[in-house]
Amino acid sequence: MLPLMRLLLIIKNKMARDYSETISRIAALVEGESDNIAKMATIACELYHAFDEFHWVGFYRNTGDDTLKIGPYQGGHGCLVIPFAKGVCGACARNREVQIVVDVNAVTDHIACSATTQSEIVLPIFQSNALIGVLDIDSDNLAEFNQEDAETLSAMLKNSF
Ligand code: SME
């Protein structure tokens, strides 16, 4: 990557995304709701429509046998099944840790559901200490996600499930 391009990416990565309104709306909408699918559908919708730079927002659910299956999402169609052994979502489920991919073209284990995706973030979701699924957000921009996204979205998921 050219030095100027790298510098621009670093600067962009330092700028915080303003989640405040969206996170407040999500908290109000999911309050008192116990159905996970209803909450996933609401969160996917709110995040997708709040940020133009998110071109795919969705959930993969842990269905046991080290397998993730597609849950509620917004955007083009996503792969239906992802084994824990594969892709960025699989790595998140396997390691139970947030995955930030700055450039998906540089990751051999990335599963390309859309040819336009350039970067992504995948976060684990826990309920009573068990992994119930992951939240995957994809962007057509390189280096769209950083540690602040990870922290804000992790807190939102903790409050929601
Ligand atoms: N990119 C993900 C697959 C899910 S889709 O992008 C919607 C991965 O590598 O696990």
Taking the centre of ligand 1 as the mean of its atom positions, its distance from the CA of residue 32, in whole angstroms, is 30
Whether ligand 1 lies within 6 angstroms of the CB of 138 is answered as yes
CA distance 47 to 68: 21
More confident site: 156 or 16: 156
Whether ligand 1 lies within 6 angstroms of the CB of 79 is answered as yes
More confident site: 14 or 142: 142
Residue in 82, 104, 121 to alter for ligand 1 test, most ligand atoms within 8 A of Cβ: 82
pLDDT digits (tens, 9 = 90+) for 45-65: 999 999 999 999 999 999 999
Whether ligand 1 lies within 6 angstroms of the CB of 82 is answered as yes
Report the interhelical angle of 36-50 vs 20-30 (nearest 10°). 160
Per-residue pLDDT, 9: 63
Per-residue pLDDT, 16: 79
Taking the centre of ligand 1 as the mean of its atom positions, its distance from the CA of residue 138, in whole angstroms, is 8
- Give the mean pLDDT of 130-159: 97
pLDDT digits (tens, 9 = 90+) for 6-40: 666 655 555 679 999 999 999 999 999 999 999 99
Taking the centre of ligand 1 as the mean of its atom positions, its distance from the CA of residue 42, in whole angstroms, is 20
Per-residue pLDDT, 51: 97
Residue in 101, 110, 119 to alter for ligand 1 test, most ligand atoms within 8 A of Cβ: 110
pLDDT digits (tens, 9 = 90+) for 79-135: 999 999 999 999 999 999 999 999 999 998 899 988 999 999 999 999 999 999 999
All structural domains of the chain, each given as residue ranges with its CATH number in brackets, are 4-160 (3.30.450.40)
CA distance 149 to 10: 15
The first and second tokens of residue 24, run together, are 């407040």
pTM of the model as a whole? 0.92
